[in-house]
Amino acid sequence: MAQGGATRAGPETRVGTVVVVLRLAMATAVARWTIANMQDPSGYFYYRRYPFMVARTPMLHWGQATMYRALAYLSLRQRVDG
């Protein structure tokens, strides 16, 4: 224990911090790609991208709710961890 009862950060804490930072960086990169490649100019997200086409049908669950939930969580984590 360090002075005053505080404990020092061990290697497992530093590794955990690195993992969180790397995951946040990867999630940010995925979100940027998704916004650039899977979001319609009107705002909704495409359902799926195939090799030769994109399914542009706005599907509430798979295309919209899931993406907005993921982006909201990413935004929260960036504020907390960033």
Question: Would you kindly state where each structural domain of the chain is located, as residue ranges?
Answer: 27-82
Q: What's the pLDDT tens digit per position in 33-66?
A: 988 988 899 988 888 889 899 888 877 766 678 7
Q: What is the mean pLDDT of the chain?
A: 77
Residue 63 tokens, joined: 């295309």
Integer Cα distance of 30 and 37 in angstroms: 10
The phi and psi torsions of 32 (rounded to 5 degrees) equal -65, -45
pLDDT at residue 81 is higher than 50: yes
Integer Cα distance of 31 and 25 in angstroms: 10
Q: Read off the pLDDT band of 77 (50, 70, 90).
A: confident
Integer Cα distance of 3 and 80 in angstroms: 28
Integer Cα distance of 77 and 62 in angstroms: 22
pLDDT at residue 32 is higher than 70: yes
